[in-house]
Structure 1
Amino acid sequence: MQKKADISVMGCGWLGLPLAEGLARSGRRVNGSTTSEQKLDMLAQAGIRPFLINLSDPELNEQTLVEFLQTDVLVLNIPPKLRADGGESYLQQMALLHRALLASPVSRVLFVSSTSVYPELNRIVTEEDTSFTDDLDPDNVLLKAERLFQNSDSWVCSVVRFGGLVGGNRQPGRFLAGKRDLPNGDAPVNMIHLEDCLNILERIISQEKWGQIYNACADEHPTRREFYEAAATALDLEVPNFKDMEETHFKLISSQKLKDDLAYVFTHPNPMAFF
């Protein structure tokens, strides 16, 4: 078996690939997983040891997963696909991975999550506000997955809950362009740029900030109307139309804990400057 890696990045997509590339450039031994056979050469050329792993594949090669998990740190970056079955298959995949981790040398897990774990409380929201999720959305799939990896005596887990992901090939002007009668135009957006995502993950790893939960969103929170109209205009697309509403439902995510603990200053603090 090949020498143990320093870090394994599960899910080398929009976020995981540039993260793994940056970690490899810094001199770390990095394993990277993908569900696409076409990506294997690209990972190898970037100095990443490539693994073809699809946790939903009933013919998954368990030995491949064992070798991928020969590492000190696992970055778990697999966003759930909730539309098909409400997230049931995702939780099954996470349970499979959890069982494999128990037999691995992994001692630290960095779980990439989302601010979708929070309900709309119409106020500033902090990391402790998942207590309301337990009451209002007890079947929240992401929160169940987070806790699966947090509640372990075999490793220590940190969770990063990112806001809306923007940057690279994710152009927000395309998200709502031309749509009509959209709700909550006056609600604040909670966005984060790819560059800040990468900086934050790398800083958690380098500063050994384990056993923590962090929200991660840009400092500024323009309204949905302001943000998506400007984003569409920047791409010369039809601006979306928001209907007038007597009541706005929202959550305004605070990243203060992250900024304090990591001494972090956002590179892209204002989403209106993302495009």
Structure 2
Amino acid sequence: MNNTWNRVSILGCGWLGLPLAERLVSSGYQVKGSTTSPEKLELLRQKNIQPFLINLSANPDALYLADFLKADCLIISFPPRLRAGGEALYLPQIQLLTSALRQSSVKKVLFISSTSVYREVNGTVKENDPAVILKESPLYQAENLMQNSSGYKTIILRFGGLVGGNRHPGRFLAGKTEVPQPEAPVNLIHLEDCLQLCAKLIQNPTPHHEVYNAVTDKHPSRNEFYTAVAKNLGLTPPQFAATETPQFKIISNEKLKVALAYEFIYPDPMFFF
């Protein structure tokens, strides 16, 4: 553990945030974790995570939020909710958070984003090409808000489709028919790689704001991958539509691998399970 960053706050202890908090606690970090569910507070406490009940859309008490942000590193791990108008609430939540951060001790922010900020360009996508960005994406706008501060350095980690833990992709399309884009490549990442990458980025010095894509090395087709993982669970494989005009992107992970000298634990989605 790098003692420079021994106090970590995780905003959003869900699919990624909770196991990440557990891993950091086991490595000797002092970890605060937030949830919007009162019934989850005891679970966090039992795992030696200092629990906080924080809902940024409900105007949390400023002193309570300031206490949560008494940390060296903040990990933001809650995506915009796509239902019930959740996307419209997302940017005001991030704006409230950035205002609170300006008064905090946080020096590094790890913002969990997504490769959904990229257009389908029918080719390879890298981080530094503005032409491939969906500028209207709430996530992309939130990224910009986080990186507009000089008081702390923000690392944007754009994950591909999240797999592992209780997310088995064999259930995603099983039994469905006329599934589009059979030959489009998948851009995925396993939970174990997510956790390992977050831990490395917390430890590494961050001289300036940075953006990384995080996906597997291999990109099998949707047909190949989702057929295999459905069979892995003994479920009916999806039936794909006839070949159509392709709409896809292949996310490059080269920048991340070079910067962190990182080798993926699960480089090929066909061997996730």
User: Which TM-score tier does this pair reach, normalised by the shorter chain?
Assistant: over 0.9
Q: Does 1:71 align with 2:71?
A: yes
Pick aligned residue for 1:176 from 153, 173, 177: 173
Pick aligned residue for 1:238 from 223, 236, 239: 236
Q: CA deviation at 1:40?
A: 1.1
For residue 62 of structure 1, what is the aligned residue in structure 2?
62
For residue 187 of structure 1, what is the aligned residue in structure 2?
184
- Unmatched runs of 5 consecutive residues or more in structure 2: none
For residue 267 of structure 1, what is the aligned residue in structure 2?
265
**What secondary structure, in the 3-state scheme, does the structure 1 residue paired with 2:238 have?**
coil
For residue 166 of structure 1, what is the aligned residue in structure 2?
163
CA contact (8 A) 1:117 1:130 kept: no
**What secondary structure, in the 3-state scheme, does the structure 2 residue paired with 1:32 have?**
strand
Q: CA deviation at 1:174?
A: 0.7
TM-score by length of 2: 0.94
Distance 1:230 1:161 in 2: 26
Q: CA deviation at 1:107?
A: 1.3
Q: Does 1:49 align with 2:20?
A: no
Distance 1:126 1:154 in 2: 27
Distance 2:7 2:17 in 1: 15
CA contact (8 A) 2:181 2:244 kept: no
- Unmatched runs of 5 consecutive residues or more in structure 1: none
Distance 2:166 2:93 in 1: 27
Distance 1:255 1:208 in 2: 20
**What secondary structure, in the 3-state scheme, does the structure 2 residue paired with 1:87 have?**
helix
1:91-134 Cα distance to aligned partner (Å, 9 max, x none): 1111111111111111111100000010011011111134332x
* Aligned partner letter, 2:173: L
For residue 89 of structure 1, what is the aligned residue in structure 2?
89
**What secondary structure, in the 3-state scheme, does the structure 1 residue paired with 2:58 have?**
coil
1:63-98 Cα distance to aligned partner (Å, 9 max, x none): 221110011110011111133337111111111111
CA contact (8 A) 1:221 1:252 kept: yes
Distance 2:54 2:86 in 1: 22
Distance 2:16 2:86 in 1: 23
Moved over 3 A (4+): none
RMSD between aligned alpha carbons?
Answer: 1.5
Number of positions where the alignment pairs a residue of Structure 1 with one of Structure 2:
268
Pick aligned residue for 1:157 from 143, 154, 157: 154
Distance 2:58 2:202 in 1: 30
Give me the identity figure in percent: 51
